[in-house]
Structure 1
């Protein structure tokens, strides 16, 4: 699988751990995140991830900022993106099962690195259930 990842200054350590896990499982990574802790603007790192998923250059995306909210709002501006702010593996599973989320947003200041890695593993290994959820997901897109 090809995974696009982007983070601001709150997430370099999170990204490093997540990328290591993903690469150990043979996934290809498109890295749009910063590696430094100097203040940066999260939209600069979120938009490229959303574009990768939107254009099918990547299968899924991962975005990380302090609260997870700003970067989720950013990527959700793109058509076809369904980013879910997750803080537990259960929410990550439901985001895939019920919402067919294609980007997970991680709040670095409110989750631990092991939690974040576990959420990403769950997110990527959980399938969309379809059925009654498919009509709802279809209604998300403004048409």
Structure 2
């Protein structure tokens, strides 16, 4: 389990699910989890920061999607807030504009409601804020 945690950042929930697959008894699971936490193999804050950087820089996810994914992994809202500071605002907006312009140009529909809907839906799935999306849509429609 140490190797499993050292190979890639893991959150408590992921390690717990992995241990569940080994069909150990409760005492053994607790002992292993305690050992991993005490020896810093599991660190929720470190995991969250790494997750935020990776998902934004490589998958270009927006803050909404990142927050939802971290909540799904039972990360506390305090840690989520700290982790989101890993994305500088300028970088976030720059990535948003690059992604939105690239997607706008890749949509084969002519200008109109169908193209607008595809554009908005894509960016909502990526997790960007609605006010950013609609401001960019107005800018690109001109």
- TM-score norm. by structure 1 comes to 0.31
* Structure (1/2) with the larger strand percentage: 1
Q: Point out the structure with max Rg over C-alpha.
A: 2
* Structure (1/2) with the larger helix percentage: 2
- TM-score norm. by structure 2 comes to 0.31
